[in-house]
């Protein structure tokens, strides 16, 4: 029996490892291309602010699972305490808020560059792609956290910027705000900021 197991292990382990590295390589290569395209758009003087925004949305927006990000940004107790309608509205508002917050700040990256460094498999459905944003003053580490959905497609569900998870930050902010305000007040605040 041990011989049979060893034989099967020897045959299938390389296939399994190649499948792992194929996903890692796919996301590494994809992020390298997208990062390059992003900086070309950003640093092209022919693009005004609105053109940059529109082109970058087209380039990167399909990478993100905003619905999952919205869900993970709320504490479980909060998610269970609100209605389905409130939750649906929150996911829509959160997506607009995230897009506007970051897109309004993309010009801060002008004059910087990015290098995709490595991709590592965190578990069978999670791959982290590490990159740096480099400027004259130094480098900032960014980790793009991907998960594989039921259709075997990879999406970003979180970003770590300088070792800080944006989802954990939002979860802490929202929990703190909701300790003194209603969920509807949170929705109003996010809508104003979006």
Rounded to 5 degrees, φ, ψ at 51 are -65, -45
Average pLDDT score over the chain? 88
Give residue 65's pLDDT band: very low, low, confident or very high (50, 70, 90).
very high
3-state secondary structure of 158: strand
Report pLDDT for 2: 45
Report pLDDT for 22: 87
Residue 17 predicted with pLDDT over 70: no
Report pLDDT for 12: 42
Give me the residues paired with residue 147 across strands: 126, 155
Give residue 21's pLDDT band: very low, low, confident or very high (50, 70, 90).
confident
Read off the pLDDT of each residue in 67-93 and give the average, rounded to a whole number. Answer: 96
Binning the chain into helix, strand and coil, the percentages to the nearest 5 are 60, 20, 15
pLDDT, one tens digit per residue, over 98-124 is 998 888 888 888 889 999 999 999 888
Instruction: Give the whole-number percent of the chain exceeding pLDDT 90.
Output: 71
Whole-model pTM: value is 0.83
Rounded to 5 degrees, φ, ψ at 43 are -100, 5
Residue 8 predicted with pLDDT over 50: no
Give residue 170's pLDDT band: very low, low, confident or very high (50, 70, 90).
very high
Sign of the alpha-carbon torsion through 166, 113, 48, 107? positive
Q: How far apart are CA 149 and CA 146, in angstroms?
A: 10
Report pLDDT for 110: 87
Contacts of 22 (CB under 8 A, 6+ apart): none
Residue 151 predicted with pLDDT over 50: yes
User: What structural domains does the chain harbor?
Assistant: 2-193 (3.10.450.710)
Report pLDDT for 82: 96
Tokens encoding 143: 């980790």
Among 12-21, 117-126, 148-157, the least confident range: 12-21
């Amino acid at each position: 029996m041990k011989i049979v197991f060893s034989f099967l292990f020897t045959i299938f382990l390389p296939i399994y490892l190649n499948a792992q590295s194929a996903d890692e390589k796919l996301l590494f290569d994809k992020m390298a291309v997208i990062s390059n395209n992003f900086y070309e758009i950003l640093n092209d003087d022919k693009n005004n602010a609105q053109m940059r925004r529109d082109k970058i949305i087209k380039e990167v927006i399909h990478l993100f699972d905003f619905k999952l990000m919205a869900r993970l940004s709320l504490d479980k107790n909060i998610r269970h305490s609100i209605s389905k309608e409130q939750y649906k509205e929150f996911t829509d508002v959160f997506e607009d808020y995230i897009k506007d917050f970051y897109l309004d700040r993309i010009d801060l990256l002008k004059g910087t560059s990015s290098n995709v460094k490595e991709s590592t498999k965190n578990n069978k459905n999670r791959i982290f792609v590490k990159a740096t944003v480099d400027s004259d003053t130094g480098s900032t580490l960014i980790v793009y956290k991907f998960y594989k959905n039921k259709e075997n497609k990879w999406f970003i569900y979180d970003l770590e910027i300088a070792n800080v998870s944006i989802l954990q930050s939002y979860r802490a902010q929202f929990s703190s705000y909701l300790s003194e305000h209603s969920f509807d007040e949170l929705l109003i605040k996010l809508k104003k900021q979006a």
